[in-house]
Amino acid sequence: MFGLPSFPKLSLLLLVLALVWFAFRWIGRQERQRKDEASGRKPRGGARGAADPVDTVQCEVCDAYVPRANPSACERAECPY
């Protein structure tokens, strides 16, 4: 009574399932972008959690790189920062 479905029927079923899966992923991505735009957040892309680059300068005494805008002093007495 219940036999194995033919190859064309199985391939059509797999194609329909793949289309539905990709459609749900696309719809979810569109909704996520809409929510991000509504809340004012930056859209996703590139490296996740990556911070904005900061200009740095190298300390002549300790050879450490410190931020150019707000340099902080190290423990050395002769550190210029």
3-state secondary structure string across 3-40: CCCCHHHHHHHHHHHHHHHHHHHHHHHHHHHHHHHHHC
Which pair of tokens denotes residue 81?
């920062």
Residue 38 maps to a domain:
yes
Residue 10 maps to a domain:
yes
Residue 53 maps to a domain:
no
Number of structural domains (the chain) is 1
- What average pLDDT is seen over the chain? 83
In this prediction, residue 69 carries a pLDDT of 84
Listed in sequence order, the residues at least 6 apart from 32 whose beta carbon sits closer than 8 Å to its beta carbon are 44
Residue 7 maps to a domain:
yes
Residue 59 maps to a domain:
no
Residue 3 maps to a domain:
yes
Q: Domain range spanning residue 32?
A: 1-42
**Cα–Cα distance between 32 and 52 in angstroms, integer?**
23
Residue 15 maps to a domain:
yes
In the chain, which residues have pLDDT < 50?
Answer: none
| Inter-CA distances, 6 with 2, 19, 75, Å | 12, 20, 77
Percent pLDDT > 70 in the chain is 83
